[in-house]
Structure 1
Amino acid sequence: MNATRQPHDDASICAAPTTPKAPKSPSVLEQMGGRKGFVYSTIPVLVFVAANAFLPLSVTIAISLAVGFFTTVIRLVRGEKVAQAIGSLLGVGVAVAIVGLTGSAKDFFVIGIWASAAGFVVTAGSLVARRPVTGLVWNLLHGGKHRWRADGPALRAHDVATLAAALVFGARFVVQQWLYLTDATGGLGVARIAMGTPLTVLGALVVVWAFRRSSKRLLPKN
C-alpha cells in the first residue's frame, strides 16, 4: 500500500536553502555623508562667494548665516546625525564671525587653511618619527596591543597612507594660502570645493587599504 504523499513534501524537497545576504559595507563617500553631504558642505561656500561678489559684506554674512541655518534644518528633518548637521552650522558661524571681526571676506577660509597646515605638520611629523599616524590610529582602534611597527608590510602600508594624508593636507594649504595672500576670494571658494571632499575621499581610500592590510596580517583569524 503506497503512502500518501503530502503536498508539503514536494515543497520541502524543491525548496533550496536560502543564505542570508551579508549587509553591504558603505563606501568611503557614504561614510563621509554621501553625495548629499558633499552638496551640503558646498552650499555655504558657494553662497558666501556669490553674495560677496555683489553685496556688502554685512549682507553677505547675514545671508550665509541664514542659508547655513536653513540647510541645517533640512538635514535634521531628513534624519541626519545631529552632531554632523550642527557641526556644519557652527563651522559657518565661526567663519563668518571671523569675517565680521576682520572685515575681510577672504578670512571666511582662514580656519580651513590653518587646519590643513596643522594636519600636514601632524602627518608629516609622524612619518619623520617613524610612527605614521594612521598606524597609531589603527592600533588604538584594535586595543593598542599590536606590534604593528614590527611588521614590515603593515608599517609600509601605513607609511603610504600617512604620506597620502600629508599630501592632501599639504596641497590644500599651499594652494589656498597662495590664493589667500593674493586676495582671491573667488579662487578660494573654487579651491575649497575642488580640494575638499574629492581629495578627502582619495586619501581615505588609501587609509582604508592600509587598515585592511594591517587587520589581515595582525588580527587573529576566526
Structure 2
Amino acid sequence: MTDPDAARDAADERKAGTLLEQMGGVAGLIYSTLPILVFVPANTWFGLRGAIIAALATAAAILAYRLYRREDVTPAISGFFGVAICAFIANRTGDAKGYFLFGIWTMLVYSALLIVSIIVRWPLIGVLWNAVNGAGTAWRRHRPTLIAYDLATAVWAVVFIARYLVQHHLYDTGRTGLLAGARIGMGWPLTILAVVATVLLVRRAERVEDEIESADS
C-alpha cells in the first residue's frame, strides 16, 4: 500500500518544482545574475556604455544558449527585456546604479501586492501555487490551508520588503558594487528558501485538515 504521507510529500515536491519552473528553474535564477556579474566590472573597466553593451550581450547570449539547448526560452526572453529596461534606465540616468532602480521599485510593488492579497483573503501565493498545478480554489474553503497560504504569502512579502529596504539604501548611498552583491545574495537563494517555507507551511496545513476530517468522520 502507498504511504499517504509519502505520496503527499512527493506531490508537494512536484508542486515546488513546478513553481520554480515557472520562475525559470534554478538554472534560470542563476542565469538572471550573470548580466549583473558582467555589468559591474564592465562599468569599472569600460564605463557605463560599455557596461550596458556587455549586460545586453550577456542576456542575448543566455537566450541564444537556451535556444540552442532547446530549453524553455520564456524566462530568457523576459530576462532579456528586463536587462534592456534596466540598461535603458541606467543610460537615461547616466549612472551605473540606475541599472538597479527598476528592480528596486519592482520589489516594492510585489510586496504591496502580496500584503493586499492577504488583507482581501486571497493570498497570492495560494492563488499562484494552485493555478500552476491546476488545483482550482477549493483550498480557500479550508481554514488551516488558507492560513498556511497567508503565512507563506507573508514570508514572500518579507523577502521582497527586505530586498527593497537593503537595495534602496545602497542605491541612495551610491554603493553600486554592494548593490550588485545584495541583488545576487538576496535573489535566488532567498527565492529557494521561500519556496521551501511555502512547501512546509502548506504540507502542515493539509495534514491538519486531514486530521480534522478524520475526526469528523
CA apart distance, 1:215: 6.2
Where structure 2 has 5 or more consecutive residues not aligned to the other structure, the ranges are 1-9, 211-217
CA apart distance, 1:119: 1.1
Where structure 1 has 5 or more consecutive residues not aligned to the other structure, the ranges are 1-21
When structure 1 is superposed on structure 2, of 65-74 and 192-201 the one drifting more is: 65-74
- 1:207 maps to amino acid: T
Change (3 A) 1:137 1:39: closer
- Determine if the alignment matches structure 1 residue 187 to structure 2 residue 178: yes
Match for residue 48 of structure 2 among 44, 47, 57: 57
Runs of 4+ in 1 over 2 A off after TM superposition: 22-39, 125-144, 206-218
- Determine if the alignment matches structure 1 residue 80 to structure 2 residue 68: no
- Determine if the alignment matches structure 1 residue 114 to structure 2 residue 105: yes
- 1:143 maps to amino acid: G
CA apart distance, 1:132: 2.4
3-state SS, counterpart of residue 102 of structure 2: helix
The match for 1:40 is: 31
2:125 & 2:25 partners in 1: Cα distance?
23
1:1-222 pair list within 5 angstroms? 25=14, 28=17, 31=21, 32-138=23-129, 141-144=134-137, 146=138, 148=140, 150-212=141-203, 217=209
TM-score, scaled to structure 1: 0.76
- 1:134 maps to amino acid: I
Larger radius of gyration: 1
CA contact (8 A) 1:138 1:211 kept: no
CA apart distance, 1:117: 0.2
- 2:160 maps to amino acid: F
CA contact (8 A) 2:156 2:194 kept: yes
3-state SS, counterpart of residue 55 of structure 1: helix
How many pairs were matched up? 196
CA apart distance, 1:135: 3.1
CA contact (8 A) 1:105 1:185 kept: yes
CA contact (8 A) 2:171 2:179 kept: yes
Q: 1:18-50: per-residue Cα shift (whole Å, max 9, x none)?
A: xxxx99948649634444323311110010011
Q: Which has the higher helix share?
A: 2
When structure 1 is superposed on structure 2, of 133-142 and 153-162 the one drifting more is: 133-142
- 1:70 maps to amino acid: A
Q: 1:158-205: per-residue Cα shift (whole Å, max 9, x none)?
A: 121011011111100000001111111111100110011011111122
Change (3 A) 1:27 1:127: closer
Measured on the aligned residues, the alpha-carbon RMSD in Å equals 2.9
